Structure 1
Amino acid sequence: MDDDDDLTLNLFTPAIKKNVGKSLENVIWGNRQQRIKARKLLKLTARAKPTKTPTLSESQSDVYTEKSEIANNKKRKIADVSLDFDNNKRRNDGSGNVSSTPTKKLKDSLHFSSLFNSNPEIPTIDVKPVECIKEEVFSSDSFESLSLDTYMLRNLRETMKFNQMTHVQEQAIPPILNGSDALVKSQTGSGKTLAYAIPIIHALQAVRPKICRGDGVFAIVILPTRELALQSYEVFRALVKPYQWIVPGCTIGGEKRKAEKARVRKGINVLLGTPGRLADHVIHTKSLHLFKLRYLIIDEADRLFEMGFEKDVKLIIDCIKEKTLKKQTVLLSATLTNGVERLAGMSLESPVRIDVSQDETTCAVTPKIDLHINTRDNSNECSAFSVPDKLKQLFVVTPCKLRLVSLVALIADKCVLAFKKSKMIVFLSTQDSVEFLHKLFSNLFKENDSVSCMNALLSDQQQDIRKSKCLVTFYKLHGNMDQKDRTLTFTKFSTCKNGILLCTDIAARGLHLNNIQWIVQYTTPGDAKEYIHRVGRTARAGAQGNSLLFLMPSETEYVKTLSNMKINMKEIMMRNVLHNLLLLFEKLPKILENDRRPPRTYEEAATTLQIYIEKVVNDEPEMQEVAKKAFQSFVRCYSTYPKHLKSIFHIKYLHLGHLAKSFGLRDAPGGFSAGKNPIQSKKKHFYKQHPCLEIHNPKEYVKKPLSSFYEFASGH
């Protein structure tokens, strides 16, 4: 019998017929050419040479087919792990029928591309050390050298544990006590709040007859964010402990106006708040009396200008001018830009300029300017910045696909595996990114959900506690949270000993959070002054601190931008960060599948972790939706970098397929292509195939204001 007859005989076997598949059922018994194609298909499917016996009985054919299927299953397991679905496509034969492959259908297979393939080359960065602007924090003098009230000095020394002044306090307190307007520049974390709070409380306690809460407001303090307002309010509460007749109060957006109006009606002497809510009360709250106002403090003045609160601040100042004859004004900021100078021109009269970084105090006249809203770019107004001496600044360059696993490795090293665990703040660009990472990490760092046989004797309550135990506690903070949740998060993270705060730039200014050892900037901040404010959350008041900046290969020029601002950076290698993953699997064995051996190299560890993250994200519809929103908001935000930084941060440098991996997605959502950068196509087509940008007109895209994408804490 010839080969064709052999094929015909084999096709009568039910097992062989089942192995061929439904796609060729209609052509099995066709002409000679179709039967020859079917035989070739069997060879590809079996991955083995057919037996050259002239005939096969039905039982022999069944045995042969069963062995072939066992061999195929073994090969499938190997292929499923190493197959790169970014480049692998299903083939099509000439008749239009899709040919059978040794693996399962694409949609049913493990869809995972290698993390270490097709990545851009990481450039070599020549980081030259620069001479930083040094600003010593503490002075050699104590508060006793100032002419302060005895009870004030005792409270500072015994209750608040302040024995030594900082340089900004040493230089700012005397002129403020003398009644001069002041424009103060000092690095973040240098004690600027006490620099204006101490003179105010000292002056109010000396008023005779004693002031009472019914006298109205003597001082107004304007602050950019709710958290900073609450923090400064606590400082005033601590200062007035010896003087119970002085009553501080706080008004912020998110709180009930009716309750705040009741407190104002009852009486407040020092009123702190965000600009929007303060302006509301100044205009509409009739019980808010300003005729005895003595002090106006504008803290974080540059931040107020950048956040668009300039209009509210001007409204407050105009109302104060109508109701008071004389007041003393103090502006404080970590950076003095032209915007701050113009803001100072609203109300300062012959202010004393205090710049601690230059170690000089000079008197200069700031001309009054009729200030209008000006949205021009002020990014190049500051040529250099000062940072704390004990701040160690690092950066790491990671390809897009490896960003997420690198962040997990860093958290594991500093907050999970370390003998002395650290507190860490991770800055992100959008609220959606905060929500995604908080949800992902809370799941990832949770210990095994399964209870072992040894733990089976525990009570149900004990088992629930064990199930929910997390290796490290994650907190989230962004402007879209309820005020109650924001305050609770701020309080818990400030008092905890080990934890990680995932936040937007809402926490970048002025906040004093205890014992922060690491600042991680997972997304670059843009202007150098924003970088300074972020890293200012650590190394405060002379303490030791560390910061790490994540950069993609296309963003490495940003290091030179920081160097031009007198900021020293040191590089750490990505492989050194990823090596920490090898020990993480001992703490979290759930990442390993039952049939997987522990990884032996950091490449294997990163790949295994990425597979697990993608499984977690894509198996839960809710988690997948959160990841997609985070991806889309990241792309939108990335397109809003200032004009002078577009050569470094441009959306055309993003590989959207690789970016999706950093959000645990297997493909870019919407109309994005994982392997092709749509920015290379025509502009009109680019806007159409970017549904996540939610912009259909290129002119709208150009005109859209930057502030619409920024994360701010509204004062309303």
Structure 2
Amino acid sequence: MADDGMLLNFEIPADAFTTPQTKFKGGRWKDRLTARKSAEYGRQKANERQPPPQESTQTSESHQHARPVKRARTGDTGAANTAFSNNGDFVSSLFTYNPTSKAPIESTPTEEVNIEPSNAPLADDETAKFTTLGLSPTLAGHLLKKLDIKAPTGIQRKAITQLCKDDTDAFIQAQTGSGKTLAYLLPIVERIATISRQMKDAGQDFNRHSGLFAIILAPTRELSKQISTVLDSLLSCYNWIVTGTVQGGEKKKSEKARLRKGLNILVATPGRLADHLNNTETLDVSMVRWLVLDEGDRLMELGFEQDLQKIISVLNLRSRKKHETTIPGLPERRTTVLCSATIKSDVEQLQSMSLKNPISLAVDASENTGQSAGEENNFSAPAQLKQSYAIVPAKQRLVTLSAVLKQTFKRKGSVMKCIVFISCADSVDFHFEILTRGGKKDRAEGDSEKTDAHSMDRKPGKPPPKKPGSIPQGNTISETRTQGRAAFFSKDNPVQVFRLHGSLQQATRTSTLKAYTKCEEPAILVCTDVASRGLDLPNVDLVIEYDPPFSKDDHLHRIGRTARAGRDGRAMIFLQPGCEEGYVEVLKEARPRNLTRHDADELLKKGFGNSKGPEESDNSWEVRATDWQLGVERWAIDNPKHLDQAKRAYQSHVRAYATHVAAERHIFDMQELHLGHLAKAFALRDKPGSIHVAGLRPGKDSGNKSKQVRGQKRSAGRTEKDEDVAAETDATEARRKMQAMSRAMGGASEFNLG
């Protein structure tokens, strides 16, 4: 046959004889077609990363000008970027498609500068002794010999001198950890002890029936309990002065019996005291001469304004009652003391409501922070506190927290106590279970039971057998396990983990704080802001703000749990790349002497790096970090209870994220929050739109099941970029639903109250 000049191109794919073709069976034909196209798209992308084959010299000019092969992305190799799990489901990688930081990296000084503590006791000289401030030798000697308090702090020197001398109202403002509790307790104890001596000299007996002379109000039950403990330690040298507490969470009947027996000093929460003023006739407040409002800003934030107005009005009205017997040394008027670490509009409102011609007691700014005396200093932290912030993408939040804790407690005895602040109660429960996963109740009691580290390798669909009478997850009010051993530490270096939030029963909260305080092993407290105000927890070396605070004042109180009374301390806050980096400017408002930056890769290398030597590959830390993350995800999938808990924590976190104060909402912008990446930080592999918790949204618990099935089949062959694009599309709808839920629940609700 003659050549007619036609050229037939029988070109076939280069991988036609090398790559096995996947056969898709079952299901609808549309689903099979979609899966096949997705698989072909994945092979095409894989071929583009291969180097181009050597072209023949007979290639036409049109082939010579073909589109160049796409450059291979760096960091796509290695086990750390595995995109599929054992059963073929898509698993998003930790180290790809993460947003990068927009802020330039600032150089930090390498040399450590010795900084004088700003809240330490004063030098031990004649002018800094308790006896020179107006305290009796008995009380001053008790402080030195029994409580090992040798010298007062700056605010204590000013407050004790003023309150022991005059009967004027006072406003005490000082840094956290500077000893405000002793600043108002010592003058009250001294004045009441003086009254008791004068009564004995006049031939009168002083006992619990002599009258109620002082009331101290605190915003939280934990703080009121702590104040009562400090007060009891002071009164061990005056055992005839009787104290007591009334607070929410306890039986009113027992409290009424306590009030009926008689008290000289009462520590209370505002709500319960207002209730007793209404319903307890034996509560006589006509001789109250000292009223203390501790943590005034928190009292107003928690909505105690009406209760405080009622208490103050009742005290004003009943103080006019005439008594048949006169008490020598009892002042004519009542002294009201307001304490707060910050000055805000609501604190000024409380000040105008409760104080009359007050004297302001505060340590000069030049003494504490180096500022000029006339410069405003409403937001400051102890000067010796070393602060840092970590820029961590949403995907890597959970694994980075684990890396930081591993590095912190790596050397036994280097760090004793650590507090991790989280935004909401559901998230606290989830992270507590993550840190102690595989543990049992008897392990929390000190048994040497081996941690069930292999539980992560259990096959999906085979959850462990349930114990009879076990409490379902999510019912945090009834659950009582608040202590466990950290799963990622050995027996030679045990670390205890505690959890605390406002949804626990009061007895559980009290016992948890007591156990954490007295724990002799290194310990981690995972908690909400319920533990951020006023609590003096000993030996706290590190504070981690895993979830950013809802206001800068909350940040001040959180980090104030460390670096107390002149001791050293560290604080770290987690921020996501993007708009959240704007919070660094808020941190700088306090003019910290030490503020350093960390990146996620830096922290992960330290936590998951090779400690035995440099013989491993450079990306070995990525492999270990990914294995840890996949193990957590398998742990959640293996047990429906854990999976439900992760979903609850995720949804509660998103709702809490929308409750930041208006002035900082541009920093914590819901529109910039990547819900798909955030779900991975809660060990979830579902798309944001598919994350539902039964019972949380009545009538919309599970959605259309057929759509969920089709969505799972469509995702079977996706590449990671396709998954992230789909997750972002789902995030828009999920974000709109979350915002509507937050508005329906009244904004803040319980998520920022703990």
TM-score (ref. length: structure 1): 0.74
The answer to whether the 8 Å contact 2:545/2:572 transfers is yes
Q: State how 1:440-451 maps to structure 2 within 5 Å.
A: 440-443=434-437, 448-449=451-452
Distance 2:351 2:116 in 1: 25
2:432 aligned with 1:438, yes or no? yes
Segment of structure 1 superposing worse, 116-125 or 251-260 = 116-125
Give the number of equivalent residue pairs. 578
Matching residue within 505, 529, 541 for 1:517: 541
Distance 1:240 1:23 in 2: 79
Q: Which residue of 1 aligns with 2:601?
A: 575
CA deviation digits over 1:230-258, x for unaligned, max 9?
A: 00001110111111111111111111111
Q: Which residue of 2 aligns with 1:329?
A: 336
SS at match of 1:346: helix
Q: Which residue of 1 aligns with 2:122?
A: 139
CA deviation digits over 1:414-471, x for unaligned, max 9?
A: 12445524310000000011000001111168954389xxxxxxxxxxxx99999693
The answer to whether the 8 Å contact 2:609/2:620 transfers is no
Deviation at 1:206, TM superposition (A): 1.4
Name the amino acid aligned to 1:608: D
Deviation at 1:305, TM superposition (A): 1.0
Q: Which residue of 2 aligns with 1:189?
A: 177
Q: Which residue of 2 aligns with 1:559?
A: 584
Q: Which residue of 2 aligns with 1:293?
A: 288
Distance 2:395 2:729 in 1: 20
Q: Kindly, what percent of the aligned residue pairs are identical?
A: 35
Determine which structure has greater relative contact order: mean sequence separation of CA pairs < 8 Å that are 6+ residues apart, divided by chain length: 2
Distance 1:21 1:650 in 2: 43
SS at match of 2:236: coil
Distance 1:298 1:170 in 2: 20
Q: Which residue of 1 aligns with 2:100?
A: 121
Deviation at 1:158, TM superposition (A): 0.8
Distance 1:689 1:332 in 2: 40
The answer to whether the 8 Å contact 1:134/1:387 transfers is no
Unaligned runs of 5+ in 1: 1-18, 27-36, 45-77, 86-102, 362-380, 452-463, 587-596, 696-700
Q: State how 1:15-30 maps to structure 2 within 5 Å.
A: none
Q: Which residue of 1 aligns with 2:650?
A: 631
Q: Which residue of 2 aligns with 1:413?
A: 407
Cα distance, 1:356–1:659 mapped onto 2, change above 3 Å: same
Cα distance, 1:550–1:623 mapped onto 2, change above 3 Å: same
Q: State how 1:129-168 maps to structure 2 within 5 Å.
A: 135-140=118-123, 141-168=128-155
2:399 aligned with 1:400, yes or no? no
Cα distance, 1:300–1:382 mapped onto 2, change above 3 Å: farther
Matching residue within 656, 659, 663 for 1:640: 659
More helix as a share of residues: 1
Q: State how 1:346-385 maps to structure 2 within 5 Å.
A: 346-358=353-365, 384-385=378-379
Q: Which residue of 1 aligns with 2:350?
A: 343
Deviation at 1:389, TM superposition (A): 2.0
Name the amino acid aligned to 1:496: C
Distance 1:626 1:311 in 2: 37
SS at match of 2:409: helix
SS at match of 2:350: helix
Q: Which residue of 1 aligns with 2:167?
A: 179
Q: State how 1:443-522 maps to structure 2 within 5 Å.
A: 443=437, 448-449=451-452, 471-497=494-520, 498-522=522-546
Distance 1:302 1:313 in 2: 13
The answer to whether the 8 Å contact 2:656/2:748 transfers is no
Cα distance, 1:486–1:677 mapped onto 2, change above 3 Å: farther
Distance 2:133 2:526 in 1: 41
Distance 2:485 2:563 in 1: 35
SS at match of 1:566: coil
Deviation at 1:358, TM superposition (A): 2.7
Distance 2:406 2:734 in 1: 41
The answer to whether the 8 Å contact 2:380/2:590 transfers is no
The answer to whether the 8 Å contact 2:432/2:497 transfers is yes
Name the amino acid aligned to 2:591: K
Deviation at 1:181, TM superposition (A): 0.9
2:177 aligned with 1:198, yes or no? no
Distance 2:541 2:246 in 1: 31
Unaligned runs of 5+ in 2: 1-21, 30-35, 44-76, 321-332, 369-374, 440-448, 455-483, 692-710, 712-722
Segment of structure 1 superposing worse, 338-347 or 181-190 = 338-347
Segment of structure 1 superposing worse, 568-577 or 554-563 = 568-577
SS at match of 2:155: helix
2:560 aligned with 1:536, yes or no? yes
Cα distance, 1:81–1:161 mapped onto 2, change above 3 Å: closer
Q: State how 1:596-607 maps to structure 2 within 5 Å.
A: 601-607=620-626
Distance 2:144 2:641 in 1: 53
Distance 2:218 2:684 in 1: 39
SS at match of 2:339: strand
Q: Which residue of 2 aligns with 1:263?
A: 258
Q: State how 1:230-269 maps to structure 2 within 5 Å.
A: 230-269=225-264
Segment of structure 1 superposing worse, 325-334 or 468-477 = 468-477
CA deviation digits over 1:72-127, x for unaligned, max 9?
A: xxxxxx99985536xxxxxxxxxxxxxxxxx99xxx42432111111111223455
Q: Which residue of 1 aligns with 2:311?
A: 316
CA deviation digits over 1:11-55, x for unaligned, max 9?
A: xxxxxxxx978659x9xxxxxxxxxx9xxx9xx9xxxxxxxxxxx
2:717 aligned with 1:675, yes or no? no
The answer to whether the 8 Å contact 2:116/2:383 transfers is no
Distance 1:189 1:235 in 2: 14
CA deviation digits over 1:513-551, x for unaligned, max 9?
A: 000000000011132221111100000000010001100
Distance 1:688 1:20 in 2: 34
Q: Which residue of 1 aligns with 2:55?
A: none
TM-score (ref. length: structure 2): 0.70
Cα distance, 1:184–1:360 mapped onto 2, change above 3 Å: farther
The answer to whether the 8 Å contact 1:430/1:637 transfers is yes
Name the amino acid aligned to 1:121: T
Distance 1:187 1:689 in 2: 39
Cα distance, 1:336–1:210 mapped onto 2, change above 3 Å: farther
CA deviation digits over 1:173-220, x for unaligned, max 9?
A: 111112121001000111111111111111111111343211331111
Distance 2:116 2:729 in 1: 42
